[in-house]
Structure 1
Amino acid sequence: MGFWVYMLVMNLLIPFTMIGFGRYFEKGGPKEINGVFGYRTPMSMKNKDTWEFAHKHCGRIWYICGWISLAATVVCLLLLLGKDEDVVGTASSILVGAQLAVIIASVLPTERALRKEFDKNGNRR
Protein backbone atom coordinates (compact mmCIF):
# COMPACT_ATOMS: atom_id res chain seq x y z
CA MET A 1 0.00 0.00 0.00
CA GLY A 2 2.88 2.36 0.81
CA PHE A 3 4.35 1.96 -2.69
CA TRP A 4 0.94 2.64 -4.25
CA VAL A 5 0.57 5.87 -2.25
CA TYR A 6 4.10 6.92 -3.21
CA MET A 7 3.38 6.30 -6.90
CA LEU A 8 0.08 8.18 -6.67
CA VAL A 9 1.87 11.23 -5.26
CA MET A 10 4.65 11.01 -7.87
CA ASN A 11 2.17 10.59 -10.72
CA LEU A 12 0.19 13.64 -9.59
CA LEU A 13 3.21 15.96 -9.72
CA ILE A 14 2.99 16.57 -13.46
CA PRO A 15 -0.79 17.22 -13.59
CA PHE A 16 -0.59 19.62 -10.62
CA THR A 17 2.39 21.37 -12.23
CA MET A 18 0.44 21.73 -15.49
CA ILE A 19 -2.58 23.12 -13.65
CA GLY A 20 -0.49 25.59 -11.65
CA PHE A 21 1.69 26.83 -14.48
CA GLY A 22 -1.28 26.73 -16.86
CA ARG A 23 -3.18 29.14 -14.63
CA TYR A 24 -0.07 31.32 -14.20
CA PHE A 25 0.58 31.43 -17.96
CA GLU A 26 -3.10 32.13 -18.71
CA LYS A 27 -2.90 35.20 -16.50
CA GLY A 28 0.09 36.50 -18.44
CA GLY A 29 3.09 34.43 -17.39
CA PRO A 30 6.52 36.01 -17.08
CA LYS A 31 6.29 39.76 -17.68
CA GLU A 32 9.57 40.07 -19.57
CA ILE A 33 10.89 37.96 -22.43
CA ASN A 34 13.72 35.86 -21.05
CA GLY A 35 15.74 32.80 -21.93
CA VAL A 36 15.25 31.03 -18.60
CA PHE A 37 11.56 30.71 -17.71
CA GLY A 38 8.38 30.55 -19.74
CA TYR A 39 7.19 29.30 -23.10
CA ARG A 40 10.40 29.93 -25.04
CA THR A 41 10.43 29.30 -28.77
CA PRO A 42 11.89 31.53 -31.48
CA MET A 43 8.38 32.62 -32.50
CA SER A 44 7.13 33.32 -28.98
CA MET A 45 10.22 35.43 -28.22
CA LYS A 46 9.87 37.75 -31.26
CA ASN A 47 8.27 40.54 -29.23
CA LYS A 48 6.10 41.27 -26.20
CA ASP A 49 2.87 40.62 -28.13
CA THR A 50 3.91 37.13 -29.31
CA TRP A 51 5.28 36.36 -25.82
CA GLU A 52 1.98 37.18 -24.11
CA PHE A 53 -0.13 35.45 -26.77
CA ALA A 54 1.94 32.25 -26.57
CA HIS A 55 1.70 32.11 -22.77
CA LYS A 56 -2.06 32.64 -22.72
CA HIS A 57 -2.62 30.03 -25.42
CA CYS A 58 -0.27 27.42 -23.96
CA GLY A 59 -1.56 28.17 -20.45
CA ARG A 60 -5.11 27.38 -21.51
CA ILE A 61 -3.97 24.07 -23.00
CA TRP A 62 -1.92 23.13 -19.93
CA TYR A 63 -4.71 24.06 -17.53
CA ILE A 64 -7.33 21.96 -19.31
CA CYS A 65 -5.00 19.04 -20.03
CA GLY A 66 -3.71 19.15 -16.45
CA TRP A 67 -7.20 18.57 -15.06
CA ILE A 68 -7.89 15.81 -17.58
CA SER A 69 -4.55 14.19 -16.78
CA LEU A 70 -5.22 14.49 -13.05
CA ALA A 71 -8.57 12.70 -13.36
CA ALA A 72 -7.16 10.00 -15.64
CA THR A 73 -4.22 9.40 -13.30
CA VAL A 74 -6.41 9.05 -10.21
CA VAL A 75 -8.82 6.68 -11.99
CA CYS A 76 -5.99 4.53 -13.38
CA LEU A 77 -4.25 4.26 -10.04
CA LEU A 78 -7.49 3.50 -8.19
CA LEU A 79 -7.95 0.58 -10.57
CA LEU A 80 -4.49 -0.64 -9.52
CA LEU A 81 -5.15 -0.46 -5.79
CA GLY A 82 -3.99 -3.68 -4.19
CA LYS A 83 -2.09 -4.87 -7.28
CA ASP A 84 1.51 -6.08 -7.28
CA GLU A 85 4.27 -3.44 -7.06
CA ASP A 86 5.57 -4.40 -10.52
CA VAL A 87 2.16 -3.73 -12.06
CA VAL A 88 1.79 -0.40 -10.25
CA GLY A 89 5.34 0.62 -11.19
CA THR A 90 4.90 -0.27 -14.86
CA ALA A 91 1.52 1.46 -15.11
CA SER A 92 2.94 4.53 -13.36
CA SER A 93 5.79 4.71 -15.86
CA ILE A 94 3.31 4.57 -18.72
CA LEU A 95 1.21 7.32 -17.08
CA VAL A 96 4.22 9.59 -16.66
CA GLY A 97 5.19 8.97 -20.30
CA ALA A 98 1.70 9.93 -21.42
CA GLN A 99 1.73 13.06 -19.23
CA LEU A 100 5.08 14.14 -20.68
CA ALA A 101 3.78 13.50 -24.20
CA VAL A 102 0.89 15.90 -23.49
CA ILE A 103 3.30 18.60 -22.33
CA ILE A 104 5.48 18.20 -25.42
CA ALA A 105 2.46 18.01 -27.73
CA SER A 106 1.15 21.33 -26.38
CA VAL A 107 3.86 23.07 -28.41
CA LEU A 108 2.20 22.12 -31.72
CA PRO A 109 -1.16 23.91 -31.29
CA THR A 110 0.54 26.88 -29.63
CA GLU A 111 3.00 27.33 -32.49
CA ARG A 112 0.19 26.85 -35.01
CA ALA A 113 -1.84 29.57 -33.27
CA LEU A 114 1.19 31.89 -33.22
CA ARG A 115 1.76 31.40 -36.95
CA LYS A 116 -1.91 32.00 -37.65
CA GLU A 117 -2.06 35.18 -35.54
CA PHE A 118 1.37 36.66 -36.43
CA ASP A 119 3.58 36.87 -39.50
CA LYS A 120 7.16 35.56 -39.46
CA ASN A 121 8.41 38.87 -38.01
CA GLY A 122 5.96 38.81 -35.11
CA ASN A 123 3.51 41.40 -36.48
CA ARG A 124 -0.21 40.70 -36.07
CA ARG A 125 -1.99 39.75 -39.26
Structure 2
Amino acid sequence: MAWTNPLFLIPAIIGVVCIAMGIIMRKYPPKQINGLYGYRTSRSMLSQERWGFAQQFAAKEFLKSGVRLASIAVLGLVVNIGNGVGLAIGLVIGLAFVAIPWMLTEKALKERFGEVEA
Protein backbone atom coordinates (compact mmCIF):
# COMPACT_ATOMS: atom_id res chain seq x y z
CA MET A 1 0.00 0.00 0.00
CA ALA A 2 1.24 3.43 -0.92
CA TRP A 3 0.21 5.95 1.76
CA THR A 4 2.01 8.70 -0.17
CA ASN A 5 0.04 8.11 -3.37
CA PRO A 6 -1.65 11.42 -4.32
CA LEU A 7 -4.65 9.44 -5.50
CA PHE A 8 -5.09 8.48 -1.84
CA LEU A 9 -3.81 11.59 -0.05
CA ILE A 10 -5.74 14.31 -1.88
CA PRO A 11 -9.22 12.73 -1.68
CA ALA A 12 -8.57 11.61 1.91
CA ILE A 13 -7.52 15.09 3.08
CA ILE A 14 -10.29 16.90 1.22
CA GLY A 15 -12.80 14.29 2.45
CA VAL A 16 -11.76 14.78 6.08
CA VAL A 17 -11.96 18.58 5.67
CA CYS A 18 -15.48 18.26 4.20
CA ILE A 19 -16.54 15.99 7.07
CA ALA A 20 -15.12 18.45 9.62
CA MET A 21 -16.87 21.35 7.88
CA GLY A 22 -20.16 19.48 7.88
CA ILE A 23 -19.87 18.59 11.56
CA ILE A 24 -18.92 22.12 12.60
CA MET A 25 -21.66 23.69 10.47
CA ARG A 26 -24.19 21.24 11.89
CA LYS A 27 -23.20 21.64 15.55
CA TYR A 28 -22.47 25.37 15.45
CA PRO A 29 -24.44 26.91 12.58
CA PRO A 30 -24.12 30.67 12.23
CA LYS A 31 -27.35 32.16 13.50
CA GLN A 32 -27.16 35.49 11.68
CA ILE A 33 -26.15 36.28 8.10
CA ASN A 34 -22.48 37.19 8.10
CA GLY A 35 -19.55 37.43 5.73
CA LEU A 36 -17.16 35.24 7.71
CA TYR A 37 -18.64 31.87 8.59
CA GLY A 38 -21.15 29.50 7.07
CA TYR A 39 -22.51 28.71 3.64
CA ARG A 40 -22.24 32.16 2.06
CA THR A 41 -23.57 32.75 -1.43
CA SER A 42 -25.63 35.59 -2.82
CA ARG A 43 -28.69 33.32 -2.88
CA SER A 44 -28.25 32.11 0.72
CA MET A 45 -27.70 35.62 2.10
CA LEU A 46 -30.90 37.15 0.71
CA SER A 47 -32.95 36.51 3.84
CA GLN A 48 -32.63 35.00 7.29
CA GLU A 49 -34.96 32.15 6.29
CA ARG A 50 -32.79 31.26 3.28
CA TRP A 51 -29.68 31.57 5.43
CA GLY A 52 -30.92 29.09 8.05
CA PHE A 53 -32.10 26.61 5.44
CA ALA A 54 -28.81 26.82 3.52
CA GLN A 55 -26.72 26.21 6.66
CA GLN A 56 -28.60 23.02 7.56
CA PHE A 57 -28.76 21.70 4.01
CA ALA A 58 -25.10 22.46 3.16
CA ALA A 59 -23.85 20.89 6.41
CA LYS A 60 -25.64 17.64 5.60
CA GLU A 61 -24.40 17.64 2.00
CA PHE A 62 -20.79 18.37 2.97
CA LEU A 63 -20.88 15.51 5.47
CA LYS A 64 -22.19 13.08 2.85
CA SER A 65 -19.73 14.28 0.23
CA GLY A 66 -16.81 14.03 2.65
CA VAL A 67 -17.67 10.47 3.64
CA ARG A 68 -17.98 9.45 -0.01
CA LEU A 69 -14.71 11.14 -0.92
CA ALA A 70 -12.84 9.57 2.00
CA SER A 71 -14.24 6.19 0.94
CA ILE A 72 -13.08 6.72 -2.63
CA ALA A 73 -9.62 7.59 -1.30
CA VAL A 74 -9.18 3.96 -0.27
CA LEU A 75 -8.91 3.12 -3.98
CA GLY A 76 -5.72 5.17 -4.02
CA LEU A 77 -4.17 2.60 -1.74
CA VAL A 78 -4.63 -0.20 -4.25
CA VAL A 79 -4.36 1.68 -7.57
CA ASN A 80 -0.77 2.59 -8.30
CA ILE A 81 -0.31 5.06 -11.14
CA GLY A 82 2.28 7.77 -11.69
CA ASN A 83 2.42 10.68 -9.26
CA GLY A 84 1.56 13.27 -11.93
CA VAL A 85 -1.50 11.38 -13.12
CA GLY A 86 -2.51 10.55 -9.56
CA LEU A 87 -2.19 14.21 -8.60
CA ALA A 88 -4.37 15.33 -11.51
CA ILE A 89 -7.03 12.68 -10.92
CA GLY A 90 -7.01 13.29 -7.15
CA LEU A 91 -7.48 17.04 -7.63
CA VAL A 92 -10.30 16.61 -10.14
CA ILE A 93 -12.11 14.14 -7.89
CA GLY A 94 -11.55 16.32 -4.81
CA LEU A 95 -12.80 19.48 -6.51
CA ALA A 96 -15.83 17.66 -7.90
CA PHE A 97 -16.80 16.42 -4.45
CA VAL A 98 -16.49 19.95 -3.06
CA ALA A 99 -18.60 21.36 -5.91
CA ILE A 100 -21.39 18.79 -5.50
CA PRO A 101 -22.65 20.04 -2.09
CA TRP A 102 -22.50 23.62 -3.36
CA MET A 103 -24.53 22.76 -6.49
CA LEU A 104 -27.08 20.72 -4.52
CA THR A 105 -27.51 23.49 -1.94
CA GLU A 106 -28.01 26.14 -4.62
CA LYS A 107 -30.52 23.88 -6.38
CA ALA A 108 -32.41 23.29 -3.12
CA LEU A 109 -32.50 27.04 -2.40
CA LYS A 110 -33.85 27.69 -5.89
CA GLU A 111 -36.50 24.98 -5.56
CA ARG A 112 -37.62 26.07 -2.11
CA PHE A 113 -37.48 29.85 -2.48
CA GLY A 114 -37.62 30.41 -6.24
CA GLU A 115 -35.34 32.33 -8.56
CA VAL A 116 -33.47 35.38 -7.38
CA GLU A 117 -34.91 38.50 -8.95
CA ALA A 118 -32.39 40.99 -10.32
Structure 1, unpaired ranges of 5+: none
Aligned to 2:18: 18
Taking the TM superposition and a 5 Å limit, the aligned residue runs for 1:1-125 are 4-6=2-4, 7=6, 8-27=8-27, 29-74=29-74, 76-80=75-79, 83=80, 87-119=82-114
CA distance in 2, matches of 1:55, 1:89: 36
Structure 2, unpaired ranges of 5+: none
User: What secondary structure, in the 3-state scheme, does the structure 1 residue paired with 2:3 have?
Assistant: helix
Deviations 1:3-59 (A, max 9, x none): x43444444221001111112223452222112222111110112221111011111
User: What secondary structure, in the 3-state scheme, does the structure 1 residue paired with 2:42 have?
Assistant: coil
**Cα gap change, 1:118 to 1:28, in 2 (>3 Å):** farther
Q: Relative contact order (alpha carbons < 8 A, sep ≥ 6): 1 or 2 greater?
A: 2
Q: Which moved more, 1:47-56 or 1:7-16?
A: 7-16
Aligned residues: 114
TM-score, normalising length from structure 2? 0.79
Q: Which moved more, 1:32-41 or 1:15-24?
A: 32-41
User: What secondary structure, in the 3-state scheme, does the structure 1 residue paired with 2:30 have?
Assistant: coil
Percent identity over paired residues? 27
C-alpha RMSD of matched pairs (Å)? 2.3
